[in-house]
Amino acid sequence: MHQKNNEYSKKNKMFKKIGYCKINQVFNKDFINKIKKDINKIKKKGSYKDKFNKLRRIEKIYNKTNNLKKLNNTIKKLIFKILKKNLEIFKDKCNLKPSGGAGFKAHYDGTFHFLDKNYKKKKGWYEYANYFVNALVAIDSCNAKNGTIEIAKIQDKNFKKLLLDTNQDGSPELSKSFEKKLKFEKINLRPGDVVFFSNKCPHRSKKNNSNKSRMILYYTYSNSNINSYKRYFKDKDESLNKNSKSLSG
Protein backbone atom coordinates (compact mmCIF):
# COMPACT_ATOMS: atom_id res chain seq x y z
CA MET A 1 0.00 0.00 0.00
CA HIS A 2 2.86 2.37 0.86
CA GLN A 3 4.40 1.72 -2.55
CA LYS A 4 1.08 2.53 -4.25
CA ASN A 5 0.68 5.75 -2.27
CA ASN A 6 4.22 6.73 -3.22
CA GLU A 7 3.39 6.11 -6.88
CA TYR A 8 0.22 8.22 -6.62
CA SER A 9 2.24 11.02 -5.02
CA LYS A 10 4.70 10.97 -7.94
CA LYS A 11 1.86 11.04 -10.46
CA ASN A 12 0.28 13.96 -8.57
CA LYS A 13 3.52 15.95 -8.83
CA MET A 14 3.83 15.12 -12.51
CA PHE A 15 0.25 16.16 -13.22
CA LYS A 16 0.74 19.46 -11.39
CA LYS A 17 3.95 20.15 -13.32
CA ILE A 18 3.02 19.19 -16.90
CA GLY A 19 -0.75 18.53 -16.78
CA TYR A 20 -0.71 14.83 -17.60
CA CYS A 21 0.44 11.43 -16.34
CA LYS A 22 0.25 7.80 -17.40
CA ILE A 23 -0.67 4.88 -15.15
CA ASN A 24 0.30 1.44 -16.42
CA GLN A 25 -2.04 -1.56 -16.40
CA VAL A 26 -4.94 -0.13 -14.43
CA PHE A 27 -7.15 -2.78 -16.05
CA ASN A 28 -6.10 -6.36 -16.80
CA LYS A 29 -6.36 -8.12 -20.15
CA ASP A 30 -9.50 -10.12 -19.28
CA PHE A 31 -11.39 -7.02 -18.19
CA ILE A 32 -10.35 -5.07 -21.31
CA ASN A 33 -11.60 -7.94 -23.48
CA LYS A 34 -14.96 -7.78 -21.69
CA ILE A 35 -15.13 -4.03 -22.32
CA LYS A 36 -14.37 -4.58 -26.00
CA LYS A 37 -17.17 -7.13 -26.30
CA ASP A 38 -19.60 -4.79 -24.53
CA ILE A 39 -18.74 -1.91 -26.87
CA ASN A 40 -19.18 -4.09 -29.95
CA LYS A 41 -22.68 -4.95 -28.72
CA ILE A 42 -23.77 -1.33 -28.21
CA LYS A 43 -21.88 0.41 -31.02
CA LYS A 44 -24.88 0.92 -33.28
CA LYS A 45 -26.39 3.49 -30.90
CA GLY A 46 -25.00 7.02 -30.64
CA SER A 47 -22.35 6.34 -33.26
CA TYR A 48 -20.63 8.56 -35.81
CA LYS A 49 -19.00 7.50 -39.08
CA ASP A 50 -16.39 9.25 -41.20
CA LYS A 51 -16.68 10.22 -44.88
CA PHE A 52 -15.65 6.68 -45.82
CA ASN A 53 -18.58 5.30 -43.80
CA LYS A 54 -16.24 3.81 -41.19
CA LEU A 55 -17.23 3.89 -37.51
CA ARG A 56 -15.17 6.49 -35.63
CA ARG A 57 -16.98 7.40 -32.41
CA ILE A 58 -19.63 6.03 -30.02
CA GLU A 59 -21.01 8.25 -27.24
CA LYS A 60 -23.02 7.91 -24.03
CA ILE A 61 -21.67 4.52 -23.03
CA TYR A 62 -20.20 4.80 -19.50
CA ASN A 63 -23.25 3.23 -17.78
CA LYS A 64 -24.52 0.88 -20.48
CA THR A 65 -23.16 -2.37 -18.98
CA ASN A 66 -21.92 -3.55 -15.59
CA ASN A 67 -18.34 -3.69 -16.88
CA LEU A 68 -18.51 -0.11 -18.17
CA LYS A 69 -19.99 1.05 -14.86
CA LYS A 70 -17.14 -0.66 -13.03
CA LEU A 71 -14.59 0.99 -15.31
CA ASN A 72 -16.05 4.45 -14.65
CA ASN A 73 -16.04 3.90 -10.88
CA THR A 74 -12.42 2.70 -10.98
CA ILE A 75 -11.35 5.80 -12.90
CA LYS A 76 -13.17 8.12 -10.49
CA LYS A 77 -11.44 6.48 -7.51
CA LEU A 78 -8.08 6.72 -9.25
CA ILE A 79 -8.61 10.43 -9.96
CA PHE A 80 -9.26 10.95 -6.25
CA LYS A 81 -6.17 8.97 -5.24
CA ILE A 82 -3.92 10.91 -7.60
CA LEU A 83 -5.46 14.38 -7.81
CA LYS A 84 -7.36 14.43 -4.48
CA LYS A 85 -10.51 15.58 -6.28
CA ASN A 86 -14.01 14.12 -6.37
CA LEU A 87 -15.08 14.59 -9.99
CA GLU A 88 -18.15 13.51 -11.91
CA ILE A 89 -18.30 12.25 -15.47
CA PHE A 90 -18.98 15.09 -17.89
CA LYS A 91 -18.82 13.36 -21.27
CA ASP A 92 -17.75 10.02 -22.67
CA LYS A 93 -16.95 8.36 -25.95
CA CYS A 94 -15.23 5.43 -27.53
CA ASN A 95 -12.88 6.52 -30.33
CA LEU A 96 -12.12 4.09 -33.13
CA LYS A 97 -9.37 4.71 -35.65
CA PRO A 98 -9.61 2.20 -38.51
CA SER A 99 -6.62 1.33 -40.66
CA GLY A 100 -5.96 4.43 -42.75
CA GLY A 101 -8.15 6.53 -40.47
CA ALA A 102 -7.23 10.21 -40.07
CA GLY A 103 -5.82 11.69 -36.89
CA PHE A 104 -6.93 14.97 -35.32
CA LYS A 105 -5.38 18.43 -35.37
CA ALA A 106 -3.78 20.01 -32.32
CA HIS A 107 -6.37 21.54 -30.00
CA TYR A 108 -7.49 22.22 -26.44
CA ASP A 109 -10.59 20.33 -25.34
CA GLY A 110 -13.65 22.47 -24.71
CA THR A 111 -12.14 25.81 -25.72
CA PHE A 112 -14.41 27.30 -28.39
CA HIS A 113 -17.63 29.23 -28.76
CA PHE A 114 -20.85 27.58 -29.87
CA LEU A 115 -24.35 28.82 -30.62
CA ASP A 116 -27.19 27.28 -28.63
CA LYS A 117 -30.64 26.68 -30.09
CA ASN A 118 -31.58 30.31 -29.31
CA TYR A 119 -28.53 31.68 -31.16
CA LYS A 120 -26.82 32.62 -27.90
CA LYS A 121 -23.02 32.45 -27.85
CA LYS A 122 -21.71 29.95 -25.29
CA LYS A 123 -18.23 29.28 -23.88
CA GLY A 124 -17.65 25.66 -24.89
CA TRP A 125 -17.26 23.28 -21.96
CA TYR A 126 -16.85 26.23 -19.61
CA GLU A 127 -20.61 26.72 -19.65
CA TYR A 128 -20.80 23.69 -17.36
CA ALA A 129 -17.70 23.70 -15.12
CA ASN A 130 -14.23 25.22 -14.79
CA TYR A 131 -12.07 22.14 -14.19
CA PHE A 132 -11.78 19.14 -16.52
CA VAL A 133 -9.65 16.00 -16.53
CA ASN A 134 -9.59 13.57 -19.43
CA ALA A 135 -9.07 9.85 -18.92
CA LEU A 136 -7.87 7.95 -21.97
CA VAL A 137 -8.17 4.18 -21.52
CA ALA A 138 -6.30 2.07 -24.07
CA ILE A 139 -8.45 -0.81 -25.31
CA ASP A 140 -5.93 -1.65 -28.03
CA SER A 141 -2.20 -0.91 -28.14
CA CYS A 142 -1.48 2.68 -29.13
CA ASN A 143 1.80 3.66 -30.78
CA ALA A 144 3.36 5.96 -33.37
CA LYS A 145 2.32 3.68 -36.25
CA ASN A 146 -1.40 3.64 -35.43
CA GLY A 147 -1.63 7.30 -34.42
CA THR A 148 -1.39 7.37 -30.64
CA ILE A 149 -2.15 10.58 -28.77
CA GLU A 150 0.54 13.28 -28.58
CA ILE A 151 0.34 15.66 -25.60
CA ALA A 152 2.08 18.95 -24.80
CA LYS A 153 2.56 20.63 -21.42
CA ILE A 154 -0.47 22.29 -19.83
CA GLN A 155 -1.16 25.93 -20.68
CA ASP A 156 -2.68 26.95 -17.36
CA LYS A 157 -4.74 29.94 -18.51
CA ASN A 158 -8.38 30.97 -18.33
CA PHE A 159 -10.88 30.40 -21.15
CA LYS A 160 -10.39 33.83 -22.70
CA LYS A 161 -6.59 33.46 -22.93
CA LEU A 162 -6.76 29.83 -24.10
CA LEU A 163 -9.11 30.93 -26.87
CA LEU A 164 -6.45 33.31 -28.21
CA ASP A 165 -4.25 30.28 -29.00
CA THR A 166 -6.96 28.79 -31.24
CA ASN A 167 -8.25 29.65 -34.72
CA GLN A 168 -11.34 31.16 -33.03
CA ASP A 169 -13.59 29.72 -35.72
CA GLY A 170 -16.04 27.71 -33.59
CA SER A 171 -13.62 24.78 -33.39
CA PRO A 172 -11.01 24.24 -30.64
CA GLU A 173 -8.13 23.83 -33.10
CA LEU A 174 -4.90 25.64 -32.29
CA SER A 175 -3.42 28.18 -34.67
CA LYS A 176 -0.46 26.85 -36.65
CA SER A 177 1.80 29.58 -35.26
CA PHE A 178 1.01 28.59 -31.67
CA GLU A 179 1.30 24.85 -32.37
CA LYS A 180 4.84 25.37 -33.71
CA LYS A 181 5.93 26.69 -30.30
CA LEU A 182 4.89 23.49 -28.52
CA LYS A 183 6.73 20.26 -27.81
CA PHE A 184 4.48 17.18 -28.06
CA GLU A 185 5.17 13.81 -26.45
CA LYS A 186 3.91 10.63 -28.12
CA ILE A 187 2.31 8.41 -25.45
CA ASN A 188 2.67 4.70 -26.22
CA LEU A 189 0.06 2.56 -24.48
CA ARG A 190 -0.72 -1.09 -23.87
CA PRO A 191 -4.30 -2.30 -23.43
CA GLY A 192 -5.35 -1.41 -19.87
CA ASP A 193 -3.08 1.65 -19.52
CA VAL A 194 -4.67 4.99 -18.63
CA VAL A 195 -3.55 8.54 -19.35
CA PHE A 196 -4.96 11.43 -17.32
CA PHE A 197 -4.57 14.91 -18.76
CA SER A 198 -6.01 18.38 -18.33
CA ASN A 199 -8.22 19.77 -21.08
CA LYS A 200 -5.71 22.66 -21.13
CA CYS A 201 -3.02 20.35 -22.51
CA PRO A 202 -2.67 20.77 -26.27
CA HIS A 203 -2.99 17.38 -27.93
CA ARG A 204 -3.16 15.82 -31.38
CA SER A 205 -2.74 12.52 -33.21
CA LYS A 206 -1.59 11.26 -36.60
CA LYS A 207 -3.16 8.90 -39.14
CA ASN A 208 -3.43 5.17 -38.41
CA ASN A 209 -0.77 3.72 -40.72
CA SER A 210 -1.12 0.18 -39.35
CA ASN A 211 -3.31 -2.54 -40.86
CA LYS A 212 -5.50 -2.84 -37.75
CA SER A 213 -8.21 -0.68 -36.18
CA ARG A 214 -7.37 1.00 -32.86
CA MET A 215 -9.91 1.55 -30.06
CA ILE A 216 -9.70 3.79 -26.98
CA LEU A 217 -12.13 5.09 -24.38
CA TYR A 218 -12.02 8.83 -23.85
CA TYR A 219 -13.87 10.02 -20.75
CA THR A 220 -13.92 13.55 -19.34
CA TYR A 221 -14.55 14.36 -15.66
CA SER A 222 -15.41 17.76 -14.20
CA ASN A 223 -16.04 19.57 -10.92
CA SER A 224 -19.69 20.02 -11.90
CA ASN A 225 -22.46 17.58 -10.95
CA ILE A 226 -23.81 14.63 -12.90
CA ASN A 227 -26.61 16.80 -14.35
CA SER A 228 -24.01 18.52 -16.54
CA TYR A 229 -23.63 15.25 -18.44
CA LYS A 230 -27.27 15.38 -19.60
CA ARG A 231 -27.08 19.13 -20.25
CA TYR A 232 -23.94 18.78 -22.34
CA PHE A 233 -25.36 16.12 -24.65
CA LYS A 234 -28.69 17.97 -24.96
CA ASP A 235 -26.88 21.18 -25.90
CA LYS A 236 -24.68 19.26 -28.30
CA ASP A 237 -27.69 17.84 -30.11
CA GLU A 238 -29.38 21.26 -30.29
CA SER A 239 -26.29 23.34 -31.06
CA LEU A 240 -26.28 25.46 -34.20
CA ASN A 241 -22.51 25.14 -34.51
CA LYS A 242 -21.25 24.12 -37.92
CA ASN A 243 -17.49 23.86 -37.28
CA SER A 244 -17.62 21.83 -34.07
CA LYS A 245 -20.93 20.06 -33.80
CA SER A 246 -19.38 17.59 -31.36
CA LEU A 247 -18.77 20.42 -28.80
CA SER A 248 -15.79 18.31 -27.85
CA GLY A 249 -12.58 19.15 -29.63
Q: E strands within the chain?
A: 20-23, 47-49, 55-59, 88-97, 104-107, 114-115, 121-122, 132-138, 149-152, 184-186, 194-198, 203-205, 214-222
Name the pTM for this structure: 0.93
Residue 247 within a domain = no
The CATH number covering residue 227 comes to 2.60.120.620
Share of the chain above pLDDT 70, in %: 92
Separation of alpha carbons 248 and 62, rounded Å:
16
What local confidence, expressed as pLDDT, does residue 248 receive?
Answer: 43
- Strand 114-115 and strand 121-122: the pairing is antiparallel
Residue 54 within a domain = yes
* 196 residue type, one letter: F
Residue 156 within a domain = yes
* 183 residue type, one letter: K
Which class for 54: exposed (0-12), middle (13-18), buried (19 or more C-beta within 10 A)? middle
Ranges of residues in the chain with a pLDDT under 70 are: 1-3, 44-51, 242-249
Tell me which residue range forms the domain holding 22.
Answer: 2-238
Residue 243 within a domain = no
Residue 83 within a domain = yes
pLDDT in tens, 186-240: 999 999 999 999 999 999 999 999 999 999 999 999 999 878 999 998 998 888 7
The domain tally of the chain equals 1
Residue 249 within a domain = no
What local confidence, expressed as pLDDT, does residue 45 receive?
Answer: 58
Sign of the alpha-carbon torsion through 51, 54, 58, 64: positive
